[in-house]
Chain A
């Protein structure tokens, strides 16, 4: 069955996955059995009892209590078994181990923000140590969202004015995909995040320094990465097309007119201010919907964005 598991299910990335997969495969077998039974009997009867003439006589069979009791009770016993199996797995997924590391998650159109116990915040990227349980306490700022990690087999809706939870204990190092699975509008399908699972040592190192690769990266390249991964690309295009926010193409050095009538040139300070206090100067013709990046970007990443915008001619 392993080949089938790999064909049809995502990789098994958490301690919860095995039980869910076993249940899934068991129901697959049950379903195949009943489907083959129904299809097989239908095919057999269609062939064996095909009409051979207009005046064929058929037996007058109205019911058969024994048969009917059989095909009522056997499925009943079976589905009760399925219920308890599902119940067991569900309760396991509901209750996080007491020692689990707690991370706060805030969802909003269309990004995921993670806040670690020490106050560090990241956007659309969560680093967690391998083999340690993690509990996410989630809330939403605007509409419903849903936090879904296929390889962990966990999912829960994220609701404004309320806290909901998921927990997992990763068993596979590497990058795991996070989807938003509660429809939330235009950027719903771009509301993605990554969970990076790494061994304790690299996790601790990441906590202090950020990614190794990012430290040595040229600033403009780092800025492009921020644009891709931190949600900028959802609203700001690079090719001049108008999105939820203005395109970044060629704006460095241009003079922008603001909603309040003032105007100012786009320079390093203006870009920095737009990241930290986006509502202060909203470009004319756009809505002030951009969230603040205060505390979300490392200083080198802010420089990177500025350098990246300079390169967009």
Chain B
């Protein structure tokens, strides 16, 4: 191990945060043409948060419409557009880029001890492609909208009106942004690790980002091709998916899920990446089962390519195919379970402090467990026949996507916020907001499991009166959830008005980003990063001595 040297005494560094990547160089032009991974991460952050806001408003409107079984505030056409846009915006503009492109761009090179990503210009290009994709998407929203659902199932999508071609083209363009980020991360992790950092000494965040990047690079082109075929069918009436033109609508579903199932892991694996950082830091304890967690990320990424057919048990694929897909699907449960157990084991005998990021991490453990366990219902073919395309599925994937990824994203945002902007937010407000989000989220989505089990189909504008009480409960929950998210925004933004007050290492993290100043200087490190200890090494002899504190007694039997 390379961790025999003592850690530099960063406590003695003079805290002069005014010269940092945010202020040097100054001016709008310097931002728009920057190749600094941190600035690109921040620009991504504002962009995806704007998308989150738009998608969230759509979600709240959808929930308000569902307060009554008939018309509440909008027509059926508007409702269909609302839920389609909610899905498309959240998936393509928010969740997929959220953790990798925003937080990952900022944190990954810092964690590796690198000055930047491997291809800084490609990184900026990826951002501008995202912006072009987003503008195309917004143009499509304003100029007709889409009423196909985010899944664009044919032949409905080949024949319906609206801006389907433009929206799918936007998703096609956004795919390239995702691919470029993936390529960049793979190269960065291979080539730019600090001296002494072997693969097994990388922070687990990097392992998960690597797994994610592999999926992004391999799966996204398939979506791109599929969407182009759809555009060609709509524009030139080339029969590919539409039975009227001699096409096969089920083929579209195969193509679509061949990307979109791995895409689920593009969304959740980065969430797991963040949790693997938060739990050791706030438990002040070495991660339990480093290799098991690292390889389970890779296993999830690879298995994710082999299970797409579980979206199609009642769609008209062969029984043999369904059986194989169901069999393979159950294997995904294993690495996911391994991760949860490892995180819990990390907390065992730790020194757990419940600051805001850790509250999000614990929320993640509970919500992701529910999301994962309800996946078992849907993996069982006989039960899936009953639950497919009902609110049970809606609840299940929201527990994974929002309860998992978005909660982890918020945890990561609160974790790295002091590093990004050099300011501490109000800790109590942060905790209250986290609690509100937890309560609101469960109030919104738990009733939907019952709705679905009782037979309430998804994407319904009108519904039977028997379902109204649970729908109303869910809508009230969405308001609590919205309030919590609003509080997060207020709390974080308010901190930006303060002077720099964040120390280098507010949480006691052991990875490289905590050794440089907050916010970091333009070139990341004011010293040469050389690995001297593992990413989660909390043995007292490895910890930097604290000024004014006597070195604590060594535990008996401590060894490296």
Interface residues of A (CB under 8 A from B): 7-10, 19-20, 23-24, 27, 30-31, 34-35, 38-39, 41-42, 45-46, 49-52, 54-64, 67-68, 71-72, 75-76, 79-80, 82-83, 85-94, 142-144, 146, 148, 150-151, 153-157, 159-162, 164, 177, 179-190
Other contacts beyond A20-B382, A49-B348, A57-B540: 12, CB < 8 A: A8-B454, A30-B373, A34-B369, A56-B351, A60-B286, A68-B289, A75-B337, A82-B330, A89-B381, A94-B319, A182-B389, A186-B147
A24 with B319: CB separation less than 8 A: no
Chain A residues with Cβ below 8 Å from B462 are 189-190
In the complex, residue of chain B having the shortest beta-carbon distance to the beta carbon of A151: B455
Q: Residue-by-residue, is B309-346 near A (CB-CB < 8 Å gives 1, otherwise 0)?
A: 00001111001001100110011011001101110110
Which stretch in B51-59, B167-175, B242-250, B509-517 binds the other chain? B242-250
A35 with B385: CB separation less than 8 A: no
Given contacts A59-B555, A183-B459, A185-B160, contact A38 B366 (CB under 8 A): yes
Given contacts A8-B450, A49-B350, A58-B350, contact A181 B382 (CB under 8 A): no
5 A-B contacts, Cβ less than 8 Å apart? A72-B334, A90-B323, A148-B389, A150-B386, A150-B454
Contact of B313 among A35, A90, A144, A183 (CB under 8 A): A90
Chain B residues with Cβ below 8 Å from A58 are 283-286, 349-351, 538
Asked whether B140 is an interface residue with its Cβ less than 8 Å from the other chain, the reply is no
Nearest-neighbour CB distance to chain B for A113, whole angstroms, equals: 18
Given contacts A42-B365, A76-B334, A159-B249, contact A143 B156 (CB under 8 A): yes
Assembly CA distance A185 to B538 (angstroms): 57
Assembly CA distance A274 to B354 (angstroms): 70
A31 with B382: CB separation less than 8 A: no
Contact of B314 among A41, A62, A156 (CB under 8 A): A156
Smallest CB-CB A-B distances: 3 pairs? A89-B382, A150-B455, A86-B380
Chain A residues with Cβ below 8 Å from B314 are 146, 155-157
Contact of A90 among B385, B450, B460 (CB under 8 A): B385
A42 with B362: CB separation less than 8 A: yes
Assembly CA distance A9 to B156 (angstroms): 31
Asked whether B122 is an interface residue with its Cβ less than 8 Å from the other chain, the reply is no
Asked whether B546 is an interface residue with its Cβ less than 8 Å from the other chain, the reply is yes
Asked whether B388 is an interface residue with its Cβ less than 8 Å from the other chain, the reply is yes
B352 with A51: CB separation less than 8 A: yes
Chain B residues with Cβ below 8 Å from A144 are 153, 155-156, 249
Chain B residues with Cβ below 8 Å from A91 are 319
Chain B residues with Cβ below 8 Å from A63 are 288-292
Contact of B338 among A50, A68, A159, A160 (CB under 8 A): A68
Nearest-neighbour CB distance to chain A for B219, whole angstroms, equals: 24
Asked whether B528 is an interface residue with its Cβ less than 8 Å from the other chain, the reply is no
B455 with A177: CB separation less than 8 A: yes
A55 with B549: CB separation less than 8 A: yes
Nearest-neighbour CB distance to chain B for A146, whole angstroms, equals: 6
In the complex, residue of chain A having the shortest beta-carbon distance to the beta carbon of B336: A75
A189 with B460: CB separation less than 8 A: yes
Asked whether B353 is an interface residue with its Cβ less than 8 Å from the other chain, the reply is yes
B558 with A60: CB separation less than 8 A: yes
A155 with B385: CB separation less than 8 A: yes
Chain B residues with Cβ below 8 Å from A160 are 155, 243-244, 249
In the complex, residue of chain A having the shortest beta-carbon distance to the beta carbon of B319: A94
B159 with A155: CB separation less than 8 A: no
Given contacts A51-B352, A60-B539, A89-B383, contact A189 B463 (CB under 8 A): yes
A82 with B370: CB separation less than 8 A: no
Asked whether B177 is an interface residue with its Cβ less than 8 Å from the other chain, the reply is no
Nearest-neighbour CB distance to chain A for B16, whole angstroms, equals: 25
Assembly CA distance A183 to B154 (angstroms): 11
Given contacts A27-B377, A61-B288, contact A157 B334 (CB under 8 A): no
In the complex, residue of chain B having the shortest beta-carbon distance to the beta carbon of A81: B330
In the complex, residue of chain A having the shortest beta-carbon distance to the beta carbon of B345: A67
Given contacts A58-B285, A68-B289, A79-B376, contact A93 B354 (CB under 8 A): no
Nearest-neighbour CB distance to chain A for B189, whole angstroms, equals: 22
Assembly CA distance A266 to B537 (angstroms): 86
Given contacts A63-B289, A68-B292, contact A83 B380 (CB under 8 A): yes
Chain A residues with Cβ below 8 Å from B552 are 55, 57
A57 with B555: CB separation less than 8 A: yes
Contact of A185 among B147, B334, B353, B537 (CB under 8 A): B147
In the complex, residue of chain A having the shortest beta-carbon distance to the beta carbon of B155: A143
Assembly CA distance A23 to B327 (angstroms): 16
Chain A residues with Cβ below 8 Å from B291 are 63
Given contacts A34-B373, A179-B457, A186-B77, contact A83 B366 (CB under 8 A): no
Asked whether B73 is an interface residue with its Cβ less than 8 Å from the other chain, the reply is no
Chain B residues with Cβ below 8 Å from A151 are 455
Chain B residues with Cβ below 8 Å from A80 are 330
A30 with B376: CB separation less than 8 A: yes
Chain A residues with Cβ below 8 Å from B539 are 60
Nearest-neighbour CB distance to chain A for B355, whole angstroms, equals: 10
Assembly CA distance A58 to B537 (angstroms): 10
Nearest-neighbour CB distance to chain A for B375, whole angstroms, equals: 10
Asked whether B116 is an interface residue with its Cβ less than 8 Å from the other chain, the reply is no
Q: List CB contacts (< 8 Å) of B456-478 with chain A.
A: 457-464
In the complex, residue of chain B having the shortest beta-carbon distance to the beta carbon of A47: B352
Chain B residues with Cβ below 8 Å from A94 are 319
A27 with B380: CB separation less than 8 A: yes
Chain A residues with Cβ below 8 Å from B34 are none
Q: Residue-by-residue, is B520-560 near A (CB-CB < 8 Å gives 1, otherwise 0)?
A: 00000000000000000111100000100100110100100
B457 with A71: CB separation less than 8 A: no
Assembly CA distance A94 to B317 (angstroms): 12
Assembly CA distance A68 to B289 (angstroms): 8
Assembly CA distance A35 to B367 (angstroms): 9
Assembly CA distance A132 to B358 (angstroms): 58
Assembly CA distance A7 to B367 (angstroms): 23
Given contacts A68-B338, A148-B389, contact A87 B381 (CB under 8 A): yes
Nearest-neighbour CB distance to chain B for A141, whole angstroms, equals: 10
Assembly CA distance A19 to B382 (angstroms): 8
Nearest-neighbour CB distance to chain A for B543, whole angstroms, equals: 9
In the complex, residue of chain A having the shortest beta-carbon distance to the beta carbon of B558: A60
B344 with A86: CB separation less than 8 A: no
Asked whether B149 is an interface residue with its Cβ less than 8 Å from the other chain, the reply is yes
Assembly CA distance A42 to B438 (angstroms): 16
Nearest-neighbour CB distance to chain A for B276, whole angstroms, equals: 14
Chain A residues with Cβ below 8 Å from B290 are 62-63
Contact of A155 among B149, B288, B388, B463 (CB under 8 A): B388
A86 with B379: CB separation less than 8 A: yes
B373 with A35: CB separation less than 8 A: yes
B284 with A75: CB separation less than 8 A: no
Asked whether B18 is an interface residue with its Cβ less than 8 Å from the other chain, the reply is no
In the complex, residue of chain B having the shortest beta-carbon distance to the beta carbon of A145: B156
Chain B residues with Cβ below 8 Å from A92 are 382
Chain B residues with Cβ below 8 Å from A90 are 313, 319, 322-323, 326, 381-382, 385
Chain A residues with Cβ below 8 Å from B153 are 144, 182-183
Chain B residues with Cβ below 8 Å from A54 are 546, 549
In the complex, residue of chain B having the shortest beta-carbon distance to the beta carbon of A35: B369
In the complex, residue of chain A having the shortest beta-carbon distance to the beta carbon of B344: A41
Contact of B352 among A10, A49, A55, A88 (CB under 8 A): A49
Assembly CA distance A148 to B458 (angstroms): 12
In the complex, residue of chain A having the shortest beta-carbon distance to the beta carbon of B335: A72
Chain B residues with Cβ below 8 Å from A68 are 289, 292, 338, 341-342
Asked whether B491 is an interface residue with its Cβ less than 8 Å from the other chain, the reply is no
Asked whether B374 is an interface residue with its Cβ less than 8 Å from the other chain, the reply is yes
Asked whether B187 is an interface residue with its Cβ less than 8 Å from the other chain, the reply is no
